[in-house]
A and B are shown apart, each in its own frame.
Chain A
Amino acid sequence: MRYERPETIMDATALLAQASDSAFVLAGGTDLLVKMQNDDFEAELVVDIKSIAGMADVVETDDSFVIGAAVPCAALGEHEALCAAWPGVVEAANLIGSTQIQGRCTVAGNLCNASPAADSVPALVAANAQARIAGPDGIRTVAVEDIPTGPGKTSLAKGEIIEAIVLAKPTDRSGDAYLRFIPRTEMDIAVVGVGVCLALNDDGAVASVRVALGAVGPTVMLCPEAAETLVGTKLEDAALEALAAACSAASTPIDDKRGTVDFRKQVAGVLARRAALIAFERAGGSQ
């Protein structure tokens, strides 16, 4: 295995573009180093991106937060403006692993690991986060939900690196939330995760909303049919019932030791209701 620590993103993408298929980006390493312990896993090249300027910074601009790909999730919880603007995203990121893991793991890595149960991803998708991708042909920006294509698989081309996750500053009267179900209180893999982000109109009704489901399909998925159930409502019981039904219907989970299909479908609806109510309250809504 070769270890490289380039100082520019161009050098990093060039290294990856020229490498064999067993080349990996190293940011926090909390997934990569675990994989490296497997005897059948072979990495020919590891490109550590932490010496590239800006990778470890959260930059607040007039209209956005730019989260560098190597920012540890613990640092998101310490960023007061980001916590105030996107509490659901930060809570989701801070659910990943132990204190030790929090000091290293990143949301860009959580996204690129492409687990359907990734905790930060439904919250990012609900927040309409964008991934800024550097590659041999320059920079492109895509919606976070377009990155994972299946368990462990992404739409990134050879030589491409997510250099930052970009969150727009939320509009007034908006709020987000993420909830997951795990059978214990901490440090487990989501059996179901739901992210909700909504904005209210002048009358206090839902003007726009995004709902994202995790661990109930091959990828984290945006669920527009669930979002539609809330538009124009103040989350009355009937609206929440419709939301829950839409989320359950959209879920196509697997049966495994952590949850059955029926259980996961039901819990997707339950968590969606609860997350929607939290987001609504954070948006300043009242029923």
Chain B
Amino acid sequence: MSSIAVSTTINGDDVEYLCQADETLLDVLRNRLGLMGSKEGCGTGDCGACSTIMDGRVVCSCLVLGAEAQGRSIETIEGMANGSELHPLQTKFIEHAALQCGICTPGFLMAAKALLDVNPEPTEEEIRFWLAGNLCRCTGYDKIVRAVQAAAAEMRGEAA
């Protein structure tokens, strides 16, 4: 089977890779590019652990072919922190203990970032609906929602 050459942008960097036609973007990120932050939970778009942002929309990278990334702009968890400076969402997830085992966390962070990118002041209901495609079996979600609210407040320049 011949490989497909793909030119794309990942976390602001131009990236080129070869992949198979039936290879998912998640597999390309993890197995070919060494970006192991995106997790495979279900592989069928139900759990959100592989959430990445593609051209501004959060998607399940397990439901995107690697070949489809051609010419697109992809954001992954690896691009979230600015060097050693964590993104406010990451800081607030730590402060609010919004994770335990951590498998779902990169997906939650990417989905939450996509929300705050378009809606800097979401209501609790909007946060819960937006994140309904991300499953967490540890936290019971409440700490995650509080962390997103706190990060949103900080990013708006309000005292948390």
- Chain A interface (Cβ < 8 Å from any Cβ of B): 1-3, 5, 26, 29-30, 33-34, 36-37, 43, 46, 48, 50, 72, 74, 97-101, 103-104, 186-187
Contact = CB atoms under 8 A, between A and B. Distances in A.
A3 B133 contact: no
Given A98-B133, A186-B129, A186-B132, A104 B67 contact: no
Contacts of A187: 132-133
Interface in B111-157: 111, 114-115, 129-134
A5 B68 CA distance: 9
Contacts, number: 83
B85 interface: no
Interface in B13-42: 20-22, 24
Contacts of A26: 65, 68
B48 interface: yes
Contact of B58 (A5, A30, A99): A99
A104 B59 contact: yes
B80 interface: no
B14 to A, nearest CB: 19
B128 to A, nearest CB: 9
B65 A29 contact: yes
B63 A30 contact: yes
A98 B108 CA distance: 13
B59 A103 contact: yes
Nearest to B60: A100
A71 B103 CA distance: 31
A48 B22 contact: no
A1 B22 contact: yes
B129 A48 contact: no
Contacts of A3: 4, 21-22, 65, 67
Interface in B41-67: 43-45, 48, 51, 54, 57-60, 62-65, 67
A101 B133 contact: yes
Contact of B57 (A34, A37, A43, A103): A103
B9 interface: no
A183 B124 CA distance: 22
B73 interface: no
Nearest to A35: B44
Contact of A34 (B58, B63, B65, B132): B63
B114 A104 contact: no
Given A100-B51, A100-B60, A30 B45 contact: yes
22 contacts: A3-B4, A3-B22, A26-B65, A29-B64, A29-B65, A37-B43, A43-B22, A48-B65, A48-B68, A50-B68, A98-B45, A98-B132, A99-B58, A99-B133, A100-B45, A100-B48, A100-B60, A100-B133, A103-B54, A103-B57, A103-B59, A186-B132
Contacts of B59: 100, 103-104
A99 B45 contact: no
Given A3-B67, A98-B132, A99-B132, 15 more contacts: A1-B1, A1-B21, A3-B21, A26-B65, A30-B45, A33-B62, A36-B22, A37-B44, A74-B57, A99-B131, A100-B60, A101-B63, A101-B133, A103-B58, A187-B133
B62 A72 contact: no
Given A2-B21, A33-B24, A101 B45 contact: yes
B70 interface: yes
Contacts of A98: 45, 48, 132-134
Nearest to B70: A5
A119 to B, nearest CB: 15
A33 B132 contact: no
B109 to A, nearest CB: 14
A198 to B, nearest CB: 29
A33 B133 contact: no
A43 B115 CA distance: 35
Nearest to A75: B57
A101 B60 contact: yes
B63 A104 contact: yes
Contact of B111 (A34, A46, A99): A99
Contacts of A97: 45, 133
